[in-house]
């Protein structure tokens, strides 16, 4: 499984591209693999604000519907409409082109793990 070294991961399986400024938020390859065939993603609108740990959308597969949790307090500045139109693309690339949102960080994050820590966490 590919864990991009520069990313930070939440225990809810979302990732952040950085911890300051405007950052990308996505869902980990582990979560995508566990979900199976992804058929729909529901995301917030630009301008919506969230606290760290708040639910911000859902991801639906042929197996289940799962909530997505915001790993950081912030404001949505961009939504990846390409993923909304082709959610199955997450299975091909959930880290580079598969980002879900761009967030302007305005406050604290949830507990974040390095890629090595996240890999250990999912093996438990």
Asked if the model's pLDDT at residue 2 lies above 70, the reply is: no
pLDDT digits (tens, 9 = 90+) for 76-117: 999 999 999 999 999 888 998 899 999 999 999 999 999 999
Show the domains of the chain with their CATH numbers.
Answer: 8-123 (2.40.50.100)
Which pTM value belongs to this model?
Answer: 0.91
8 Rama class: left (phi>0) / alpha (psi -120 to 50) / beta: beta
How many CA atoms, within 13 angstroms, populate the side-chain half-sphere of residue 7? 23
For the chain, the helix, strand and coil percentages under 3-state DSSP, each to the nearest 5: 20, 40, 40
């Amino acid at each position: 499984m590919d864990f991009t070294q520069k990313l930070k991961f939440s225990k809810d399986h979302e990732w952040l591209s950085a911890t300051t400024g405007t950052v990308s938020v996505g869902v980990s390859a582990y979560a995508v693999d566990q979900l199976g065939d992804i058929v729909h993603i529901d995301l917030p609108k630009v301008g919506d604000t969230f606290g760290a740990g708040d639910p911000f959308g859902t991801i639906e597969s042929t197996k289940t519907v799962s909530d997505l949790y915001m790993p950081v307090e912030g404001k949505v500045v961009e939504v990846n409409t390409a993923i909304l139109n082709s959610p199955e693309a997450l299975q091909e690339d959930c880290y580079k082109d598969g980002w879900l949102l761009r967030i302007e960080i305005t406050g604290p994050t949830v507990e974040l793990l390095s890629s090595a820590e996240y890999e250990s966490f999912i093996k438990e």
